[in-house]
Amino acid sequence: MNSPHDSGRSSATSTAHSVGSLGDSGGAQKDHSNPLPEKEDEEGVAWDERLRYFVGVVKSAFDAMRSEQRLCNGSVCSKRLQDRIEWDYPAEYATFVNGLFNRSWDRFLEAKTDIVCYPHNEGGAESNTKWLMAHGSLRCRLRTEDINRVRDADEMLGRMVRDKCLWDLEDACRSILMEVFLSMDASAIVCKGCMRLNKSEQYHLGSLAVWEPILARLWGRQTVGGAVRLRDMERPSQQLGFHVRLRCRWTELLGNNLLAKCICGSVLRVFLNVEKPEMLPVAGAGARPAKEELAVKLHQPSGELIVALGDTGLWGRRPPSSQPNPPFLACCRGYPRHTR
């Protein structure tokens, strides 16, 4: 999805909403060479001049975040842009967003920057995922910019991918996550299970480092616990999309929105590989409550540690870090491809 600002209009002949995760990691950096004037230092500076400067900062950050997505230009997540601006310009954010627009980031974007937020409600009533509209997110040309018709086209493409391609995507996600897990030594598994990544690792384009703490908690932990909220897996799943595009050529048909939805569903099936959720594209946590967690639990019949999703009855086996695990591999390879 894309901002309707002037620079995007001239080059776009189609529009679509897409979950732009691949380039959200790059982002714009704060321009320290031309900082915003402080109130106490520049009392004579006109209010509208400070507002124009702040609006320019937001637009520049949006453009910079989109530029990082090439060759997969898609949309920018509203929350990613909001986090970046609030982190770099806290005083100005409080003054203009919180003060003028009563803490409504969406209203500020639409009123002052001509960037439109498009909400996705697939996550249920508690979903707070919104994406900035971007032209050309789908890999097919549409003769309309009517968002309703674009959404219909997006859903048709999603059904095609669900029916034809998602099994391949699940295999790709499993392979990538296993490669990351097996590359972690024992000490890294212990340490990363209880650490937080710095911002540079989180926003770096295509960084798989964001998966290491999650894999350490769910696959490396040797005791019960290690819960990971589904909401906390959204950004890592988006980063995974960069590598999936390199391995699955059919993803050229998809914008970042559909791809990220499909990856979220596939990643969930990788962890829950015995009693699996349905093979469906989901936005973030999908129709599940945002507070649901994946956690390491004890499987009473077998006495082994497993990964389970809350009290849903969905669970999966964990791979060991050093040698093949026949039950785990059987769960991965033995699923019937004619069911979802």
**Amino acid (1-letter code) at residue 174:** R
123 and 181 belong to one structural domain: no
Residue located via tokens 């040797």: 222
The pLDDT tens digits of the residues spanning 179-212 come to: 988 888 665 555 554 555 555 555 566 678 889 8
**What is the full DSSP assignment across 232-256?**
GGHHHHHHHHHHHHHH-GGGGG--H
Q: Which of 283, 311, 314 is nearest to 126 (CA)?
A: 283
Residue 248 in domain: yes
Q: Within 10 Å of residue 278's Cβ, how many Cβ atoms? A: 12
Residue located via tokens 């991965």: 332
Residue 132 in domain: yes
CA 52 vs CA 43, 46, 228: distances in Å: 16, 10, 41
CA 310 to CA 306: how far, in whole Å?
A: 12
Residue 1 in domain: no
81 and 48 belong to one structural domain: yes
Residue 206 in domain: yes
Three-state SS at 194: coil
Q: Which of 53-62, 210-219, 244-253 bottoms out in mean pLDDT, i.e. has the lowest?
A: 244-253
The whole domain housing 42 covers 6-153
Residue 338 in domain: no
128 and 87 belong to one structural domain: yes
Decide: 115 and 3 in contact? Cβ < 8 Å: yes
CA 76 to CA 54: how far, in whole Å?
A: 19
181 and 224 belong to one structural domain: yes
Q: Is the pLDDT of residue 177 over 80?
A: yes
The pLDDT tens digits of the residues spanning 233-290 come to: 888 888 898 888 888 878 877 767 667 778 888 899 999 988 888 876 554 444 455 5
Number of domains the chain contains: 2
235 and 297 belong to one structural domain: yes
189 and 310 belong to one structural domain: yes
180 and 286 belong to one structural domain: yes
176 and 322 belong to one structural domain: yes
